[in-house]
């Protein structure tokens, strides 16, 4: 597929190389035919995931002092956008371990946890999932009920998590628990729990989209976790959670931008070759205007996302801007996928074409990582409303 509409203004030569190298690698190890097979089977993209690790991409966001590459926030944004452009779920597979779970260890874990687990994350041998959401605690994260009670040198964990991405293929679960059930968000802690620990059970759920990275239900029944697996300090998990969720939202915005641009390119490749009434359908204003709107939304998503990355690299805290980028990028992804369906007509509804998958995969973006309604609440609160 042509990549000529992808604006790389403001990229360094190294960032252009990141983009092109990742796309070349994924086109080789995860071609469209393979993606369709994995999507139908609901299978994790193990081969592509390991190829990314072997190429060094898992190490990009980790500091050099921790054995990583020490890439900038903008470098990470370029990488995530490129992965999501190729396939939404390979970006999800990467982000779940490296960002959503791995950054908790990198930013707040003890020296023991960092030395023990970061090398495996970077070489691809250790996969992780991040377990926060519960049946009665989604947007209201402070309402989680999963309990970790201290017993000697261990915590005993009981509770349930829901919609946990990639838990079925994870070796470890970075799990948010209550260590003081009466203290609200001041009683939250984060534990690293082996997925195969006695008392842990995982049930895979069926999903509309992102079928290769799957959602799961996780149960903890008197699971014993050694105290050294505490990430950060006891009862201080909320602060670390908020810091890591901010980075998650930047990555969700980058993924949405990559998905959006792929939809534009895919629909364009189809439309310029589709003829009706003796001419390509792109000659009709009704179709051409749809493409104009799609391109506008794709460009706006990218501009807002890269602005957040550049602010972070400059040491500025983009409190409102991160939420805006997540909202705009994920909502534009849904809108552009819907327009792509309309442009392609009946063909878009057929499983042999990828547009139906783009449509399915896009819908989770406005829900996951903090629903866009919650993002709007945060923006309003920062505005003093």
Query: Following DSSP, what letter does each residue of 247-301 receive, concatenated?
Result: HHHHHHHHHHHHHHHHHHHHHHHHHTT-EETTEEGGGSHHHHHHHHHHHHHHHHH
Q: Which two tokens stand for residue 104?
A: 């908790």
pLDDT digits over 169-182, tens only?
A: 999 999 999 999 98
For the chain, percent of residues with pLDDT exceeding 90 = 92
Helix (H) or strand (E) holding 76: helix 73-86
Contact present, 348 and 341 (Cβ < 8 Å) = yes
Q: Residue 263, class by beta-carbon neighbours within 10 Å (0-12 exposed, 13-18 middle, 19+ buried)?
A: buried
pLDDT digits over 87-124, tens only?
A: 999 999 999 999 999 999 999 999 999 999 999 999 99
- pLDDT at residue 142 tops 90: no
Q: Residue 207, class by beta-carbon neighbours within 10 Å (0-12 exposed, 13-18 middle, 19+ buried)?
A: middle
- pLDDT at residue 1 tops 60: no
* Mean pLDDT computed over 183-201: 96
pLDDT confidence tier of residue 4, bands split at 50, 70 and 90: low
Question: Which residues fall within 8 angstroms of residue 336, CB to CB, at 6 or more apart?
Answer: 260, 263, 264, 294, 297, 298, 362
* Rounded (10°) angle between helices 237-271 and 73-86: 50
- pLDDT at residue 271 tops 60: yes
How high is the mean pLDDT of the chain? 96
Q: Which residues share a beta bridge with 230?
A: 191
According to DSSP H, which parts of 314-384 are helical? Answer: 319-344, 355-362, 372-382
* Mean pLDDT computed over 176-198: 95
Phi, psi of 30 (to 5 degrees): -140, 65
- pLDDT at residue 56 tops 60: yes
Residue in the block written with tokens 């970006």: 91
pLDDT digits over 319-335, tens only?
A: 899 999 999 999 999 99
pLDDT digits over 196-231, tens only?
A: 999 999 999 999 999 999 999 999 999 999 999 999
Question: What pLDDT, on a 0 to 100 scale, did the predictor assign at position 338?
Answer: 98
pTM for this model (two decimals): 0.96
* Mean pLDDT computed over 7-15: 94
* Mean pLDDT computed over 285-309: 97
């Amino acid at each position: 597929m042509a990549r000529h509409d992808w604006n790389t203004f403001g990229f360094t030569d190294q960032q252009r190389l990141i983009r092109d190298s990742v796309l070349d690698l994924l086109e080789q190890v995860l071609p469209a035919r393979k993606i369709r097979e994995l999507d139908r089977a609901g299978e994790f993209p193990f081969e592509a995931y390991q190829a990314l690790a072997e190429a060094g991409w898992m190490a990009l966001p980790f500091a050099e002092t921790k054995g990583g590459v020490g890439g900038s926030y903008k470098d990470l944004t370029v990488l995530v956008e490129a992965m999501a452009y190729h396939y939404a779920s390979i970006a999800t597979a990467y982000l779940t371990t490296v960002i959503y779970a791995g950054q908790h260890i990198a930013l707040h874990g003890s020296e023991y946890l960092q030395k023990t687990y970061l090398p495996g994350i970077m070489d691809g041998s250790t996969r992780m999932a991040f377990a926060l959401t519960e049946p009665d605690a989604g947007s209201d994260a402070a309402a989680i009920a999963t309990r970790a009670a201290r017993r000697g040198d261990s915590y005993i964990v009981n509770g349930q998590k829901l919609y946990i991405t990639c838990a079925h293929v994870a070796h470890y679960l970075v799990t948010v628990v209550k260590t003081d059930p009466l203290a609200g968000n001041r009683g939250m802690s984060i534990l690293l729990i082996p997925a195969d620990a006695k008392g842990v059970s995982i049930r895979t759920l069926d999903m509309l989209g992102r079928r290769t990275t799957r959602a799961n239900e996780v149960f903890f029944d008197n699971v014993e976790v050694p105290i050294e697996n505490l990430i950060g300090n006891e009862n201080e998990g909320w602060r670390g959670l908020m810091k890591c969720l901010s980075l998650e939202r930047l990555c969700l915005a980058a993924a949405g931008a990559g998905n959006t641009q792929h939809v534009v390119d895919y629909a364009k490749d189809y439309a310029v070759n589709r003829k009706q009434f003796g001419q390509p359908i792109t000659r009709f204003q009704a179709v051409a205007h749809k493409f104009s709107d799609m391109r506008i939304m794709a460009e706006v998503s990218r501009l807002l996302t890269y602005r957040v990355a550049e602010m972070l690299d400059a040491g500025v805290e983009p409190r409102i801007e991160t939420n805006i980028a997540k909202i705009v990028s994920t909502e534009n992804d849904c809108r552009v996928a819907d327009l792509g369906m309309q442009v392609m007509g009946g063909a878009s509804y057929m499983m042999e074409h990828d547009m139906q998958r783009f449509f399915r995969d896009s819908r989770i973006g406005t829900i996951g990582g903090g629903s866009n309604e919650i993002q709007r609440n945060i923006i309003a609160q920062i505005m003093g409303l």
